């Protein structure tokens, strides 16, 4: 087995495999990389990606997102000439990059990365137990070359360009495919600056407060986090144009792409775990009409996966129970006062 591997792999990959072997983790490397024909380690299964997979839960029904994935996964003769999107079906950051490629009509290839361990006892096999970077390197060498910290999303262009970090990928896609719709309005420095400011606001203020609400286990602190979350949403809504459904009015921009995947989680995951109901006031009605318009837009709709599969995700992964071990969870845990820290 080792001989076959040695004959085929570069020294760095051999070293990574040896490290995994020493840690008893060789099973994490796909059989192809191990030079094996077919066998899988006992009890180790692939996380479910489609209804054809063993760990797919019978209650899940494939939605537009799963259908887009199936189409983009299909390897074709021109696959090497396409931009690769390294992504994970569950990741809201990665969904931003996914929407950007769909909006620009790019013929990209979808590369599913599972940065976490698989537990066949859990629905879909999904956990949020972070794989060490050495393991990710051995399993997904092209991905880690495109995303040095092993976080999704990242893109790799056949011309050699590699970009990571969701909002940077969105901006790169905007300029690389220099055609409408433009995610940053062309020739308008002030509007471009505002688009960047409000996209950051989504990440720094709205989404952060929401995940505090989700992760904090103390009901009083949850109520405080919910109040802060609603206040940030209202601030955002007041900055939205009144001229059309999108943030800037009639045209979409990076702000819509930045928020959509998170608003989806606010509704689906917030409703599921915290009984979150959005208030009925002018600001939240503005946000609701924005959400409806975006959900009907084909590029956005193409990224909506099965709700039943996505909503329990933080629990099996530990976010709602504050058990997550991902970089994202660790960053948020450091902001939770008095909450459990791993
Ligand atoms: N700031 C990054 C965050 C990306 C991120 O945290 N992605 C998560 C999945 S949602 C990930 O790759 N986690 C893997 C890990 O923590 O090992 C971005 O905007 O792209």
Residue 149 Cα: closest atom of ligand 1: 17
Q: Do 13 and 105 share a domain, yes or no?
A: yes
Do 205 and 120 belong together in one domain? no
pLDDT category of residue 25 using cuts at 50, 70 and 90: very low
Cβ of 151 below 6 Å from ligand 1: yes
Q: Is the domain of 168 the same as that of 196? A: no
204 inside domain: yes
Nearest atom in ligand 1 to 131's CA = 17
**Does 150 share its domain with 241?**
no
Closest-CA residue to 286 (of 325, 247, 342, 326) = 247
Query: For the chain, how many structural domains are there in total?
Result: 2
Q: What pTM, to 2 d.p., does this model score?
A: 0.85
Cβ(93) – ligand 1 distance below 6 Å: yes
**Residue 165 to residues 92, 110, 219, 296: CA-CA distances in angstroms?**
12, 17, 33, 26
- In this structure, the residue with its CA closest to atom 13 of ligand 1 is 151
266-304 confidence digits (pLDDT tens): 999 999 889 999 999 999 999 999 999 999 999 999 999
Q: Is residue 143 part of a domain?
A: yes
CA atoms within 13 A on the CB side of 233: 27
256 & 282 share domain: yes
CA of 93 to the centre of ligand 1 (A): 7
166 lines ligand 1 (CB under 6 A): yes
Q: Whose CA is nearest to atom 10 of ligand 1?
A: 91
Band of residue 80 on the pLDDT scale cut at 50, 70, 90: confident
Domain with 32 in it: what CATH number?
Answer: 3.40.30.10
Q: Ligand 1 atom closest to Cα of 88?
A: 9
Of the two residues 16 and 111, the one the predictor is more confident about is 111
Which of 176, 197, 224 is a domain's end point? 176
- Whether ligand 1 lies within 6 angstroms of the CB of 147 is answered as no
Residues 36 and 117 in one domain: yes
Q: Is the pLDDT of residue 39 over 70?
A: no
How many angstroms is it from 154 CA to the middle of ligand 1? 10
Question: 183 in a domain, yes or no?
Answer: no
Asked if residue 184 is part of any domain, the answer here is: no
Give the pLDDT score at 321. Answer: 65
For residue range 294-337, what is the model confidence (pLDDT) as tens digits? 999 999 999 999 999 988 766 655 666 666 667 777 777 776 65
Going by alpha carbons, the residue nearest to atom 1 of ligand 1 is 165
| Whether the CB of 311 sits within 6 Å of ligand 1 | no
Q: Do 297 and 252 form a contact (C-beta atoms < 8 A)?
A: yes
Of 143, 176, 209, the one marking the end of a domain is: 176
Segments forming the whole domain that contains residue 319: 189-333
Q: Which residue has the higher pLDDT, 332 or 88?
A: 88
Question: What's the confidence (pLDDT) of residue 235?
Answer: 98
* Same domain, yes or no: 212 and 321: yes
Q: Note whether 282 and 288 are within 8 A (CB).
A: no
- Residue 340 covered by a domain: no
Does 327 contact ligand 1 (Cβ within 6 A)? yes
pLDDT band for position 7 (cuts 50, 70, 90) = very low
Mean pLDDT of the 159-175 span: 97
Residue 299 belongs to domain with CATH number: 1.20.1050.10
Q: If we measure between CA atoms, which residue out of 28, 124, 29, 113 comes closest to residue 69? A: 113
- CA 310, 134, 120, 342 dihedral sign is negative
Co-location of 80 and 217 in the same domain: no
Is residue 182 a part of any domain in this protein?
no
Using pLDDT thresholds of 50, 70 and 90, give the confidence band for residue 20: very low
* Whole-number average pLDDT of the chain: 84
Question: Is it the case that residue 34 has pLDDT exceeding 50?
Answer: no
For the Cβ of 212 lying below 6 angstroms from any atom of ligand 1, the answer is no
Task: Encode pLDDT of 219-234 as tens digits.
Answer: 999 999 999 999 999 9
Among protein residues, the one with the nearest Cα to ligand 1's atom 2 is 165
pLDDT surpassing 50 at residue 128 = yes
The answer to whether residue 3 scores a pLDDT higher than 80 is no
Q: What is the pLDDT of residue 313?
A: 66
Of 23-37, 67-81, 235-249, the one with minimum mean pLDDT is 23-37
Q: What percent of the chain has pLDDT over 70?
A: 79
* Residues 227, 109 share a domain: no
pLDDT at 124: 92
Nearest CA to ligand 1 atom 16: 326
Q: Does the CB atom of residue 119 touch ligand 1 within 6 A?
A: no
pLDDT at 181: 98
Evaluate: CB of 201 within 6 angstroms of ligand 1: no
Q: Do 147 and 232 reside in the same domain of the chain? A: no
Q: Is residue 273 within 6 Å of ligand 1 at its C-beta? A: no
Q: Is residue 140 within 8 Å of 26, Cβ to Cβ?
A: no
Q: Which atom of ligand 1 is nearest to 94's Cα? A: 20
Mean pLDDT of 179-204: 97
Q: Is the pLDDT of residue 110 over 90?
A: yes
The domain boundary residue, chosen from 133, 148, 176? 176
Measured in angstroms, how far is the CA atom of residue 244 from the centroid of ligand 1?
32
pLDDT attached to residue 22 = 42
**What per-residue confidence (pLDDT) applies to 75?**
66
Which atom of ligand 1 lies at the shortest distance from residue 165's CA?
Answer: 20
Same domain, 7 and 137: yes
Phi/psi zone of residue 27: left (φ > 0), alpha (ψ -120 to 50 degrees), beta? alpha
Q: Is 91 in the pocket of ligand 1 (CB under 6 A)?
A: yes
With bands split at pLDDT 50, 70 and 90, how would you rate the model's confidence at 28? very low
Same domain, 92 and 61: yes
Q: Is residue 216 part of a domain?
A: yes
pLDDT digits (tens, 9 = 90+) for 195-221: 999 999 999 999 989 998 988 888 999
């Amino acid at each position: 087995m080792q001989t076959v591997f040695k004959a085929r792999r570069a020294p760095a990959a051999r070293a990574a495999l040896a490290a995994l072997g020493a840690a008893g983790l060789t099973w994490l490397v796909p059989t192809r990389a191990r030079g094996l024909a077919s066998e899988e380690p006992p009890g180790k299964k692939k996380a479910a990606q489609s209804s054809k997979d063993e760990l797919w839960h019978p209650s899940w029904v494939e939605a537009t997102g799963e259908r887009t994935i199936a189409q983009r996964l299909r390897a074709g003769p021109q696959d090497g000439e396409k931009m690769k999107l390294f992504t994970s079906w569950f990741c809201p950051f990665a969904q931003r990059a996914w929407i950007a490629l769909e909006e620009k009509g790019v013929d990209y290839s979808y590369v599913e990365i599972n940065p976490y361990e698989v537990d066949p006892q859990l629905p879909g096999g999904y956990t949020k137990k972070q794989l060490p970077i050495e393991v990710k390197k051995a399993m997904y060498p092209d991905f880690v070359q495109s995303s040095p910290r092993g976080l999704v999303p990242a893109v790799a262009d056949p011309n050699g360009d590699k970009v990571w970090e969701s909002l940077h990928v969105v901006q790169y896609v905007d300029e690389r495919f220099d055609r409408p719709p433009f995610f940053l309005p062309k020739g308008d420095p002030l509007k471009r600056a505002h688009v960047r400011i409000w996209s950051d606001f989504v990440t720094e203020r709205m989404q952060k407060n929401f995940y505090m609400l989700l992760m904090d286990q103390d009901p009083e602190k949850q109520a405080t986090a919910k109040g802060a979350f609603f206040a940030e949403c209202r601030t955002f809504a007041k900055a939205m144009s009144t001229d059309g459904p999108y943030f800037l009015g009639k045209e979409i921009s990076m702000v819509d792409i930045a928020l959509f995947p998170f608003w989806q989680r606010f509704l689906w995951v917030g409703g599921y775990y915290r009984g979150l109901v959005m208030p009925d006031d002018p600001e939240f009605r503005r946000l609701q009409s924005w959400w409806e318009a975006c959900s009907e837009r084909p590029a956005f709709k193409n990224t909506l996966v099965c709700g039943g599969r996505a909503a329990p995700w933080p629990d099996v992964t530990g976010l709602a129970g504050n058990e997550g071990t991902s970089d994202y969870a660790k960053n948020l845990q450091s902001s939770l006062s008095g909450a459990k820290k791993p």
